[in-house]
Amino acid sequence: MNIREMQEAILKLKKETGTAILAHSYQAREITEIADYTGDSYKLSVDAKGIDNENILFCGVHFMAETAKILSPQKRVYLANPHAGCPMAEQMDKEMIAAIKAEDPDRTVVAYINTTASLKTVCDVCVTSSSALKIVKAIENDKILFIPDCNLGDFVKKNCPDKDVKLLNGGCPTHAAVSANDVLAAKAEHPDALFLVHPECRPQVVELADYAGSTAGIIDFAMKSDAKEFIIGTETSIAEHLQYDCPDKKFYPLTKNLVCNNMKLTTLPDVYRSLLGIANGDGSAAEIIMDDEMIAASRKCIDEMIRLGG
Ligand code: 13P
Ligand code: SF4
């Protein structure tokens, strides 16, 4: 089967099984093309809440499929590649944050959505990169503990100067690996390009940007801008998608190393095999299984994110 034939087979199976495919924007083009919903973490969370289909197949990493299950517990939610996890989501656990809370109980605990369901049970509100500023500003309490990403947290802290934001030492290994020297080299090579960056990058990288924002924010900025050239400081797939969608502009990935290997684990054959497994009901598709208690406890801070960020 070639790519087109496999995409056709996927579209047919999707219909037969009543499955909606959700794909994060970091997925490959051949996957976003067959998805029903694409976007960044925030958009996909909101999409997951309103889906009518019986099954959801998530192309992304584990915490995203888990979030879809929490928001649509009556649906069967599957992850197209069960090995796709987010290293940042595993950096802090419930016990660690509960111990910090016990010592510093007056802080509102704000968790980046890139966290496990178990950790979400001890947090007050979730954020994504596109909703973090709005939500932190909307929180009545001025004392915040922002976890786990200290780079996104630093971006929030600088843009919410009235808040006392405490950070811990976590972050995205893919975005945090970029240096200011990478930016200077890319700017030297493309002197007319605007530099757009994701705030998961380190502060010294974000400081050099013409625009800093979430995946959706970067895409929106690039599409609306009158500029013709852009250096894209986030996962390389965003420069690729933008180049497809805006052929009259030029997009350069900040470095070719800005690849999330976890996001890239999912392949089109994984999507096809998962749908076959859903159709056959043979248990081969990787279903997200969570008990009602965990769903209810972890959902509170996601609902709060949608309430404050909506
Ligand atoms: P957003 O989808 O919130 O922009 O986050 C990027 C990311 O790293 C997802 O894991
Ligand atoms: Fe996690 Fe970073 Fe990959 Fe996003 S890009 S899934 S935060 S490791």
Residues 45-88: pLDDT tens digits?
889 888 999 999 999 999 999 999 999 999 999 999 999 999 99
CA of 34 to the centre of ligand 2 (A): 22
- Residue bearing the CA closest to ligand 2, atom 1: 86
Angle formed at CA 244 by CA 238 and CA 249, multiple of 5 degrees = 90
Secondary-structure class of domain 3-85+263-291 per CATH: alpha beta
pLDDT of residue 109: 97
Secondary-structure class of domain 178-257 per CATH: alpha beta
- Predicted confidence (pLDDT) at residue 11 exceeds the cutoff of 70: yes
Q: What is the pTM of this model?
A: 0.93
pLDDT of residue 50: 87
pLDDT of residue 94: 94
- Predicted confidence (pLDDT) at residue 310 exceeds the cutoff of 70: no
Domain ranges of the chain: 3-85+263-291, 88-171, 178-257
Sole residue written with tokens 């900025």: 221
* 3-85+263-291 and 88-171 share one fold: yes
Alpha helices (H) along 201-267: 203-206, 215-224, 236-245
User: Which residues are near ligand 1 (CB < 6 Å)?
Assistant: 40-42, 86, 114, 128-130, 172, 200, 214-215
pLDDT of residue 41: 82
Q: Report the atom number in ligand 2 closest to the C-alpha of 262.
A: 3
Token pair for residue 44? 């996909």
Homologous superfamily (CATH) for 88-171:
NadA-like (3.40.50.10800)
pLDDT of residue 142: 96
- Residue bearing the CA closest to ligand 2, atom 2: 172
- Predicted confidence (pLDDT) at residue 292 exceeds the cutoff of 80: yes
pLDDT of residue 226: 97
